[in-house]
Structure 1
Amino acid sequence: MELLSVKVKKGRLDKAADAFKTYVVLKVQNLKSATVDRKGSEPCWEQDFMFEICDDGKGFIIELWKKGLLWDSILGILWIPFATVEHATDEGPGSWWTLHSEVIKYGSEIQGTKTPTSHEILLDVYFVLPFDTHKDLDFRGWHRGASLQDTGHSYQDTYDSLSSMESDFSIQESKLRKNKSQDDGSNFAKARWARAIQKISDSIKSCRRAIFP
């Protein structure tokens, strides 16, 4: 289980949106959350959301809705696979996403979206790394299950870098285990972070084996 952080920042909508209010709906596994509604073609929501993600999850949905007098109507939809989401320690600048008007389904399960609209939203999406991770390490760009691609350094540099990261994760894991006996109400969170550290550590080991067989 991992923690998914989603910050809904801003929107760039077509000019017709100047006359009404819009809001964003997030559908993550069995959970549903929504922003407040904002008026205009450049709405600013700046709202944070956090979700616990089960291991069998494949992705989540972002929807843009228009407020109506009697009922609301959807303006666009986006499907974001979990496999494309980065791990990070804190908030970043985010990325602009183009919303679509149609969903791609396999049976009843959504696999993606198609047919771009004229609406875009700025989102910062990442899996949260452990709270005590070394601040000097740059984790953005490390995708789940992705192989390391190092074109600017020697193999020895890459090996040393991976060894350093693996050592840092081992230190963090040891700290969490030492604090395991403390009954301060945070044991559940520490156990969750420990599992996250172990997953990333295993991924680093796999990368090392792939690069240096």
Structure 2
Amino acid sequence: MELLSIKVKKGKLNEAAGALHTYVVLKVQNLKSTTIDRRGSQPCWEQDFMFEISADEKGFILELWKKGLLWDSILGILWIPLATVEHATDEGPGAWWTLHSEVIKSGSKIYGTKTPTSHQILLDVYFALPFDTHEDFDCRGCHRRAALQGTSYSHQDTHDSMSSMENKLRRNKDQADKSNFAKARWARAIQKTLQETMRSSVRFYSTYKTSSGFGF
């Protein structure tokens, strides 16, 4: 099992989307998580998500949606292969991804997207390492994802081109004590969840503070 960390940071939408309220949906394995909705052509979500996924999972789906009066509609979609995701001990600056308007399927399984849209999403995606991992094993920056060019993405080609540093990291992880590793990963997830909860509490207090200076 791996602990996948996804931070949905910001968006760059076309001018026509300036008056819209948009939100992001993440679909990882059989799980689905949703950000809050933001208005404007440059929405800022800054929300963290963590998923424990199996080793045989190939990728995950990200969707950008706009809110409507009667129903919501999708603006773009992206399939990100997990073979391109780096291992890291902490959050990074992220990378911009262009959303697409069509999916590539094999049967009912999505394995790519095509036809770029004018919408982009800033994401920070990485496999979280335990707190006590030596910095030499932090592979952020050692292997950069290849940009999706509107065609299917070959999981096997990406896997074959993985750097020797990542292979070394996997050997090291296999030799580590699995129970301690799992505890450290979940401790990290709990810490990030608590931090997000605290930020949400502060925003709530600021929004609903009365004129007398006391919140309710």
TM-score scaled by length of structure 1: 0.70
CA offset at residue 142 of structure 1?
A: 4.6
Q: Which structure has the greater CA radius of gyration?
A: 1
Map 1:53-64; keep pairs closer than 5 Å: 53-64=53-64
* Equivalent position of 1:147 in the other structure: 163
* Equivalent position of 2:70 in the other structure: 70
CA offset at residue 147 of structure 1?
A: 3.2
* Equivalent position of 1:13 in the other structure: 13
Kept after mapping to 1: 8 A contact 2:10/2:121: yes
Kept after mapping to 2: 8 A contact 1:2/1:192: no
Distance in 1 between the 2:67 and 2:182 partners?
39
CA offset at residue 141 of structure 1?
A: 3.5
Q: For the aligned residues, what is the CA RMSD?
A: 2.9
CA offset at residue 50 of structure 1?
A: 0.1
CA offset at residue 148 of structure 1?
A: 2.8
Going from structure 1 to structure 2, the CA distance change for 1:89 and 1:106 (only over 3 Å counts) comes to same
Going from structure 1 to structure 2, the CA distance change for 1:133 and 1:191 (only over 3 Å counts) comes to closer
Going from structure 1 to structure 2, the CA distance change for 1:62 and 1:131 (only over 3 Å counts) comes to same
* Equivalent position of 1:189 in the other structure: 183
CA offset at residue 128 of structure 1?
A: 0.6
* Equivalent position of 2:37 in the other structure: 37
Distance in 2 between the 1:166 and 1:19 partners?
46
Tell me which amino acid in the other structure corresponds to 1:93. Answer: P
Distance in 2 between the 1:99 and 1:166 partners?
31
Total equivalences in the alignment: 168
- What stretches of structure 2 of length at least 5 have no aligned partner? 144-158, 188-216
Q: Which secondary structure state, in structure 1, belongs to the residue aligned with residue 17 of structure 2?
A: helix
* Equivalent position of 1:109 in the other structure: 109
Tell me which amino acid in the other structure corresponds to 1:96. Answer: W
Flag as ranges the 4+ runs of structure 1 deviating above 3 A.
Answer: 135-138, 141-145, 190-193
Distance in 1 between the 2:60 and 2:85 partners?
11
Map 1:62-211; keep pairs closer than 5 Å: 62-135=62-135, 137-142=137-142, 146-148=162-164, 169=172, 173=176, 189=183
Going from structure 1 to structure 2, the CA distance change for 1:121 and 1:191 (only over 3 Å counts) comes to closer
CA offset at residue 135 of structure 1?
A: 3.7
CA offset at residue 35 of structure 1?
A: 0.2
Distance in 1 between the 2:185 and 2:122 partners?
32
Query: Residue by residue, what CA displacement relative to the aligned partner does 1:137-171 show, whole Å, maximum 9, x if unpaired?
Result: 5421355771338xxxxxxxxxxxx7xx899x58x
Distance in 2 between the 1:7 and 1:96 partners?
12
Q: Percent identity?
A: 71
Distance in 2 between the 1:93 and 1:187 partners?
25
* Equivalent position of 2:146 in the other structure: none
Q: Which secondary structure state, in structure 2, belongs to the residue aligned with residue 19 of structure 1?
A: coil
CA offset at residue 191 of structure 1?
A: 9.2
Distance in 2 between the 1:2 and 1:105 partners?
25
* Equivalent position of 2:191 in the other structure: none
Distance in 2 between the 1:190 and 1:148 partners?
25
- What stretches of structure 1 of length at least 5 have no aligned partner? 150-161, 181-185, 194-213
* Equivalent position of 1:47 in the other structure: 47
